[in-house]
Structures are given as structure tokens and as C-alpha cells.
Amino acid sequence: MKTFPLLQGQVEVWSAWMTNPASVAYNLPAVVPFLQDIDLDRLSQALQKIWEQRRELHTQFTISANGEPRQWADDSLSLPLVRRKMTEKDAQSYIHCGFVRPFAVSAGQPFVRFEIVETEAHHYLLYDVHHLIGDGLTLSRAFLSKDLPAAYAGEPLTPQEYGLFQHAEAEEEMMHSDRYKHDALFYQQELKGVDFTSLSTQVASPWGRRIGATESVDAAAIDEWCQQQGVTHNLFFMTAFALVLSRLSGEAQVAFACLNHGRSDHRLADAYGMFVCSVPVLARVEEEQSVKDLMGQLRRWLISTVRHRAYPL
């Protein structure tokens, strides 16, 4: 049995999950409602076809002799599909309170589950994937937008010669390369003496005494500004976040981590797997008058959102 290393993003999830395997924090559930005229047998056959051809869904984990987690595709596993009939009321209760449950750590249990629920009003496809073997693009793009419609229509699935396991091997090889050492040195120098920005822990609430207000931001104004400045929306909001963090921490230089989809290799565009990785960001905040008005409005909105909803920074 050939095993493969874990991507660094997978290692982070594995380490966090192992502290509390009974948690559902890393479950990625979804519900797809259908009209009643969908052919449920045909839907089941489509899921079987996807299961057989996307071996990453069979992923299992083990610990190597040197104590490192490894992964492989267990082709002996059967499609984890359950079909249920219930009332619409019971279905809604089950969807919200019964479907999502912890995945088993032990070998032999898939890290994905599918259920088809039939009611007098709707048919539902429920699926849940552990974050160790899937991410948002796996679920929304590769599975739901690409493979499921093709398989249901009886069309062949696009072959995937390069995916999770191959990319994990490539990453492991890269981490022993001169390129990796060069990149690591760059970040070490750039972030030398820099700690991730934190908020006060000297008071009961890190926000202190506060008065909150809720404001909205004109999406059209943001679209126009981004287009004029030639920047993406992602960069705009990340800059706004840095401004908020700077104001709340009282620091002109802030450091935080953000997420990257990890699919810069075009071969991974429709791949199944967990490719998300974290990227350190160091921002030296210098507000210019040309952006103060728009950023000021957005900053007040973000601060209010953080205060009211307690989003973690």
C-alpha cells in the first residue's frame, strides 16, 4: 500500500482536529434541494460514478513509523450513501440538527457521507466532507458544478491525472529544494522580530468599553474604486482589515494570516482535496487622503461588525 504525505494545510487541520476528534468544526456540510421530478435512482448512480472515479474521496489516514500522518486512497470502501423518506417537517429538523455529526478517526470509515432525503414536498441531496480531504472549491466547483451534472446526464467525467496525492508529493519534494530555502529565508528576514498582532488581554473584554453602531457600505462605490485603482476586491478588504487591526491594536505595523486557495497550479482547478493554505501578511499602515473617505466608512462598518458579532481577528 503506497501512502502519501499530507499537504501543509492538511497538517494544520489534522493537528487541530486531533485535539478534539469529536468536534464537527471541520465538517463541510451542504444541502441541495431538488424538484420532485428528479430521478433518485439516477442520482444514486451518478454519486456511485463519482465515488468510483474520484479516489480522493476514499482518502484514509495513518501514522508512519516516524510519527508523521500519511494518507492513501482505500478503494475497498463502499459509497457512503443513505436514502431516507420522511415528512418535510422531519426533514428540516434532521437537516438542521441530525445530519452533521463527527467523522470517525479509525481506519475503514470514509471522511465523506451522502444522503438522499425524500419528502412530500422536496427531494434533498445532503453531503458532508471532512476538511481534511476537501475544501470549498472541492464541494462547489469540482463536485456540484462539474461532476454531478455530468454524471447525472450520463456523460463521462473529465480525467484528473494530477491531484491531491501527486501535489502532496510535489510539495514534500519542494520543501527540500533550494527554492524553498530561498523563499523561507525571505520570510524570515521580512518577518524578523515581528509578532502576529494581538489585542489587549488585560481587561475582561479585549474590546474594552464600547459603543457600537451599524453602517452599510455602497458596493458600487467599492467596485468603482477598485476598478479605478486597478486592485482586486480581495486586496481592498484585506487592506481595510489591516486598517481596522491597526486602529484596534494601536500599532502602525500589523501582521496577520490570511487564507489562499492553494490552487495556483492550473491542474488543480477542478481537483478534489484540501489545498487551502495560510499566508502571512505584514502591513505597514500609512493612510493616504485619497482613500481615507471610503476606507473610513468601511473601517467603521468592520469595527462595528467585529464588536457586535465577535468575529475573531
3-state secondary structure labels for all residues of 41-72: HHHHHHHHHHHHHCHHHHEEEEECCCCCEEEE
Q: What is the pLDDT of residues 267-306, one digit of tens each?
A: 999 999 999 998 888 888 876 555 556 566 666 666 665 5
Q: Read off the C-alpha cell for 203.
A: 481587561
Contacts 24+ apart (CB under 8 A), 306-312: 306/207, 306/244, 306/248, 307/207, 307/210, 307/212, 308/212, 308/214
- Give the count of beta carbons closer than 10 Å to the beta carbon of residue 163: 19
pLDDT band for 312, please (50, 70, 90 cuts): very low
What's the whole-number mean pLDDT along residues 197-221? 70
Give 165-177 pLDDT, tens digit per residue. 999 999 999 999 9
Residue 129: band (very low, low, confident or very high) from pLDDT cuts 50, 70, 90 = very high
Amino acid letter, 203: V
Query: DSSP label at 267?
Result: G
Residue 18 Cα distances to 69, 103, 109, 210, angstroms:
11, 12, 16, 37
Structural contact between residues 285 and 252, judged by C-beta atoms closer than 8 angstroms: yes
Nearest of 159, 209, 197, 167 to residue 281 by alpha carbon: 197
- Decide if 269 contacts 130 (C-beta within 8 A): no
Residue that the C-alpha cell 456511485 belongs to: 48
Residue with cell 500599532: 251
pLDDT at 275 (0 to 100) = 97
Tell me the three cell numbers of residue 191: 518577518
For 11, the grid coordinates are 497538517
Instruction: Give the count of beta carbons closer than 10 Å to the beta carbon of residue 43.
Output: 21
Q: Quick: pLDDT tens for 225-277.
A: 999 999 999 889 998 889 888 888 888 889 998 888 999 999 999 999 999 99
SS3 state of residue 140 = helix
Is residue 35's pLDDT more than 50?
Answer: yes
pLDDT of residue 288: 59
How far apart are the C-alpha atoms of 130 and 297, rounded to whole Å?
Answer: 38
Between CA 300 and CA 22 the distance in angstroms is 38
Can you give the pLDDT at residue 203? Answer: 59
Does 108 score more than 90 pLDDT?
no
C-beta separation of 73 from 56 below 8 A? yes
Query: How much is the average pLDDT of 198-224?
Result: 72
Instruction: Specify the amino acid at residue 69.
Output: P
